Amino acid sequence: MEKKNRKSPEINTSALPDIIFMLLFFFMVVTVLRKSQVKMDLNIPSSEEPTKIKHQSYVNTIYVGYSLKNKNKVVIQLNDSFINIDQIEAAIRGLNSRYDNEMQSLISTSLKVDKEVEMGIVNEIKLQLRKAESLKLNYIANNEILP
Amino acid sequence: MRKRHSAEINTGAMADIAFLLLIFFLVATEINQDKAVSVILPKYHEFTTPGPISKRNLLKIKINEDNEILLNGEIIALNKVKLLVMDFVENPQKSMLKPREPENAVISLMNDIRTSYEDYVQLYAQIKLAYQTLRNDYSNQQFGKSFNALSQDKKKIVASKYKIKISEAEYSIAQK
C-alpha cells in the first residue's frame, strides 16, 4: 500500500506547451494591431445602435478633429499622416490600388470625426470619396440609447 | 548509460516562453472593435442630376444650421423621426400623399454646412433604424423570424421590398 502511494506518478506536463501554443496562435490570428496614432483632439459622437464594421483589414480611416496646438483649427488625418482635403481622392485611390480586383468590394472608409465638426467639411470628404470610387463609408460612433 | 542521459532535452521552460508570448498578444489584442453607422455613397457623375421624382414618393428631411430637424418643413424632435419615416414608407392608411409601395419611397436628407456632425449622424441612424424595424416586422410576419435570422435569399426579398433610398442630392419634383 505504502509502496503504491510513493510510486503514484508525477503529472505529465509535456502537453502544456502545446496547449499554450494553441492559445497563442489563436490570439495571434485574431489580433488586429492598432495601425495609426491619432495626433489630434477627437471625441467621436454617440448614436443609437451602430453596427460592427465588416472586413476590418480593408478599412482606410480618415480622422477629422481639432489641432493639438490650435484648438480652433480643424485637421484631417488619413491613416498615419496629415492630409489636405483636396488630396484625399488621390490618396484613397493610391491606397485602394494595393488590393486585387476581387478585394475591391470589401474596402470601406471609416470616418472618425469629432462631434463638434461642421458638416461642410464632412460633405467635402464625401465628395472626394465618391470621386475616388470608394463608396462604402462608416460613420464611427459610440452606442448610446437616446432619451 | 551516458547515452541515455544526454538524449533528453529539458522542455520545462518551453511553457514559460509560450506564456510570455501569449500574455503579449493578450495585451495587444483589441477586443472592443469600432462600431459605425454604415452608408453607401452614390456614384459620382459630374454633370448629371437625378431624374424627377413623383411628389408622393419623396420625404424631405432637412437638418439646419441650428441642428433643428425639419420634416417637410415642420420642426420635429429627433425621437419622432423613426416613427414618421416608418409611417411614410409603409403608408398604412393608403394616403395619396405617401408612396403606393414601400420600395418607391425616397428619403431626401439635406444638411447645412454648419450642421454639427453628431446631430447629422444621429439623424441618419434614426432613418436607418426605421428601415431596420420595418424589415424586422415584415420578416416576422412573412417568415416568423427576425431579419437577421433569415437565409440570404429571403433577406434579399425583404431588403428589396424595403430598399433604403436616402438621397442627399437636390431632387426635382415631376410635373403632372
Confidence of residue B170 (pLDDT cuts 50, 70, 90): low
Residue of chain A minimizing CA distance to B10: A14
pLDDT at residue B165 is higher than 50: yes
Chain B contact for A55, CB < 8 A? Answer: no
**Cβ contacts of A114 on chain B, cutoff 8 Å:** 117
Select from A24, A48, A115 the Cβ nearest to the Cβ of B25: A24
- Distance of CA A118 to CAs A23, A123, B78, Å? 46, 9, 18
Per-residue pLDDT reduced to its tens digit, A54-94: 888 888 899 999 998 888 889 999 988 899 998 999 999 99
Q: What is the pLDDT of residues B122-134, one digit of tens each?
A: 999 999 999 999 9
pLDDT tier for residue B32 given thresholds of 50, 70 and 90: low
Lowest mean pLDDT among A123-127, B81-85, B96-100, B113-117: B96-100
Is residue A41 included in any domain, yes or no? Answer: no
pLDDT at B161 over 60: yes
Residue A57 resides in a domain: yes
Residues in chain B: 176
User: Would you say residue A30 lies in a domain?
Assistant: no
With a cut of 80, say whether residue A2 has pLDDT above it. Answer: no
Which CATH number goes with the domain that contains A114? Answer: 3.30.420.270
Establish if A38 touches chain B: CB-CB under 8 angstroms: no
B24, three cell numbers? 503579449
* C-alpha cell, B79: 425621437
> Residue A138 is nearest to which of B14, B30, B38, comparing CB atoms?
B38
More confident residue, B172 or A11: A11
Residues of chain B contacting residue A141, judged by C-beta atoms under 8 Å apart: 35-37, 121, 125
Mean pLDDT estimate for chain A: 85
- pLDDT at residue number B54: 81
d(CA A97, CA A17): 42
Q: How many CB atoms lie within 10 A of CB B46?
A: 5
Cell of A34: 492598432
**pLDDT bracket for residue B5 (50, 70, 90):** low
Burial of A99 by CB count in 10 Å (0-12 exposed, 13-18 middle, 19+ buried)? middle
Q: Give the pLDDT score at B171.
A: 57
Rounded average pLDDT over B82-103: 86
Please name the amino acid found at residue B123.
Answer: L
Query: Which percentage of chain A shows pLDDT scores above 90?
Result: 26
**Which of B23, B34, B66, B116 to mutate to test binding with chain A, by most A CBs within 10 Å of its CB?**
B34
Tell me, yes or no, if B79 comes closer than 8 A to chain A by beta carbon: yes
Residue A87 lies in a domain: yes
pLDDT of A33 above 70: no
Q: If you write DSSP's letter for every residue of B93-155 in order, what string do you get?
A: T--TTS-SSGGG-EEEEEE-TTSBHHHHHHHHHHHHHHHHHHHHHHHHHHHSS-GGGS-HHHH
Q: Residue A84 corresponds to which cell in the numbers above?
A: 489636405
Q: What is the pLDDT of residue B55?
A: 82
Classify residue A34: in a domain, yes or no: no
- A138 touches B at CB < 8 Å: yes
Q: First-to-last CA distance in chain A?
A: 73
ipTM above 0.90, yes or no: no
Min Cα distance B23 → chain A (Å) is 8
C-alpha cell at position A112: 472618425
Report yes or no: A92 and B41 within 8 Å, Cβ to Cβ: no
Angle at A46 between CA A43 and CA A49, to 5 degrees: 145
**pLDDT of amino acid A64:** 93
The 10 Å CB-count burial string (b at 16+, else e) for B107-134 is bbbbbbeebbbbbbbbbbbbbbbbbbbb
| Residue A36 banded pLDDT, cuts 50, 70, 90 | confident
What is the count of structural domains for chain A?
1
Chain A residues in contact with B14 by the CB 8 A cut-off are 17
- The pLDDT, as a whole number, for residue B11 is 72
Contacts with A43 (C-beta within 8 Å, 6 or more apart), sequence order? A65, A114, A115, A116
The answer to whether residue A6 is domain-embedded is: no
d(CA A126, CA A88): 10
Domain that holds residue A115: 46-143
Residue B176: which pLDDT band, with cuts at 50, 70 and 90? very low
* Lowest mean pLDDT, pick from A14-28, B120-134, B152-166: A14-28
For residue A76, the model assigns a pLDDT of 92
- The arithmetic mean of pLDDT across residues B55-82, rounded, is 88
- Residue with the bigger pLDDT between B119 and A16: it is B119
Domain annotation covers residue A60: yes
Check whether A113 has a pLDDT greater than 90: yes
- Domain assignment present for residue A16? The answer is no
Q: Looking at the predicted structure, is the pLDDT value of residue B47 above 90?
A: no
Q: Residue A23: is its pLDDT beyond 70?
A: yes
